[in-house]
């Protein structure tokens, strides 16, 4: 799977929007962009995924650059429960091995 | 209601013992997985079952044996535990077997071998 680069940490005030960036300059045409998040001592939690078009769901929005070399996870109103490590992952449509490389992720702190 | 539940959460045992980890999902999914997470945050697939049928069996020592009594359960039995088996093991499920399906994870089982 292609590598991703994310900032190590970010902070946000509660109830404000948060934009979490991810660079994936070596993304291939068959790679989907997935976002998961994880709290300490818990399993990863699926957030959102997309290929080319921007995506919205009840948890977040995913904005994908036109050249697909970067993407941004948008939490519209951060809550204290959103404090977690967020992982941007590329998953290859050709990869039947279902590997997940979580990397270091972005640790999001939400300030009350 | 917990969607994917694993037991036990912590497992400390001695080298050479045999142990099992259980996983159950109440999401109605037809595909379940076992992953091993090493210290570098890499989740490596071990096994996957779709409707009780083994569909992924990565290069894993045959001391590890999965068992799926029904599509809501996928257990992992490990024989003759070794020091290198210490890790966090995650169970997950998805609707459909495609690599691209969102996966729902349990909270992990932290296995420590003494």
Q: What is the pLDDT of residue B76?
A: 96
CA atoms within 13 A on the CB side of A38: 21
Q: Are the Cβ atoms of B99 and A49 closer than 8 angstroms? A: no
> Does the pLDDT of residue A97 top 60, yes or no?
no
DSSP state of A29: T
CA dist., res. B87 & res. B101, Å (int): 25
> Does the pLDDT of residue A13 top 90, yes or no?
yes
Q: Which of A3, A6, A44, A92 to mutate to test the interface with B (most CBs of B within 10 A)?
A: A44
| CB neighbour class for B16 (10 Å; exposed up to 12, middle 13-18, buried from 19) | exposed
Range of lowest pLDDT (A65-69, A87-91, A95-99, B57-61): A95-99
Q: Are the Cβ atoms of B107 and A32 closer than 8 angstroms? A: no
Region A49-72: mean pLDDT is 95
* Per-residue model confidence as pLDDT tens digits over B88-112: 999 999 998 776 788 999 999 999 9
Q: What is the pLDDT of residue A95?
A: 57
Residues of B in contact with A46 (CB under 8 A): 102-104
Structure-model confidence comparison of residues B28 and A2, the more confident one: B28
CA dist., res. B25 & res. B32, Å (int): 9
Q: How far is B79 from chain A (nearest CA, A)?
A: 24
Region A78-87: mean pLDDT is 95
* Per-residue model confidence as pLDDT tens digits over B15-57: 999 999 999 999 999 999 999 987 766 788 888 888 888 887 7
Q: How far is B46 from chain A (nearest CA, A)?
A: 9
Largest CA distance in chain A: 43
DSSP per-residue string spanning A70-106: EEEEEESS--GGG-EEEEEEEEETT-TT--EE--S-E
Show which of residues 53-82 on chain B sit within 8 Å of chain A, judged by CB atoms: 56, 58
């Amino acid at each position: 799977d292609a590598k991703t680069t994310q900032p190590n940490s970010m902070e946000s005030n509660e109830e404000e929007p948060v934009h979490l960036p991810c660079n994936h300059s070596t993304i291939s045409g068959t790679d989907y962009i997935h976002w998961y998040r994880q709290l300490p001592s818990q399993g990863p939690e699926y957030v959102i995924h997309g290929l080319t078009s921007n995506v919205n769901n009840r948890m977040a929005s995913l904005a994908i650059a036109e050249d697909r070399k970067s993407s941004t996870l948008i939490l519209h109103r951060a809550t204290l429960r959103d404090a977690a490590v967020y992982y941007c992952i590329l998953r290859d449509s050709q990869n039947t091995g279902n590997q997940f490389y979580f990397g270091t992720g972005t640790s999001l702190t939400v300030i009350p | 209601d917990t969607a994917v539940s694993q037991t036990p959460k912590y497992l400390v045992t001695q080298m050479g013992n045999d142990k099992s980890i259980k996983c159950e999902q109440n999401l109605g999914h037809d595909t379940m997985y076992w992953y091993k997470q090493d210290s570098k945050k890499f989740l490596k697939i071990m096994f996957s079952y779709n409707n009780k049928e083994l569909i992924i069996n990565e290069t894993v020592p045959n001391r590890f044996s999965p068992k799926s009594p029904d599509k809501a359960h996928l257990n992992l039995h490990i024989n003759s535990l070794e020091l290198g088996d210490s890790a966090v093991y995650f169970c997950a499920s998805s609707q459909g077997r495609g690599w691209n399906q969102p996966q729902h994870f349990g909270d992990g089982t932290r296995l420590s071998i003494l």
